[in-house]
């Protein structure tokens, strides 16, 4: 008999640590995000949120959808390279 989606993805017998490890491996193997929120982007580029917001706006990398703001990391990185010394 075919297994259900739940049975394939959620093993009730697996302990929490094993599930965390599986989730971490999946997260590491996935490709990097193209769009990030301000908090995530600031952490990703090791700067404060306000500075990241300012630079992203200057780069023209901000997409606003209703009240959600996303930053295109490819555009942001190209802009960031202009500051290279």
Mean pLDDT within 50-63: 98
Q: Is residue 9 part of a domain?
A: no
Q: Specify if 72 maps to a domain.
A: yes
Segment 46-66 mean pLDDT: 97
* Range of lowest pLDDT (2-11, 14-23, 67-76): 2-11
What whole-number distance in Å separates Cα of residue 13 and Cα of residue 7?
Answer: 11
Do the strands 68-72 and 35-36 form a parallel or antiparallel pair, or are they unpaired?
A: antiparallel
User: Is the pTM for the entire model greater than 0.75?
Assistant: no
Q: How many domains does the chain have?
A: 1
**What is the residue range of 71's domain?**
35-81
Residue 24 pLDDT > 80: no
Query: Is 67 within the bounds of a domain?
Result: yes
19 domain-assigned: no
For residue 21, being part of any structural domain is answered with no
Res. 11 pLDDT band, cuts 50 70 90: low
In a domain, 5, yes or no: no
């Amino acid at each position: 008999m075919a297994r259900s989606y739940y049975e394939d993805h959620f093993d009730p017998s697996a302990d929490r640590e094993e599930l965390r490890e599986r989730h971490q491996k999946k997260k590491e193997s996935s490709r990097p995000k193209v769009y990030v929120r301000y908090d995530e982007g600031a952490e990703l580029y090791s700067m404060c949120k306000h500075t990241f917001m300012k630079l992203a706006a200057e780069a023209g990398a901000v997409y606003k959808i209703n009240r959600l703001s996303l930053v295109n990391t490819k555009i942001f990185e190209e802009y960031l390279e202009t500051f290279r010394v």
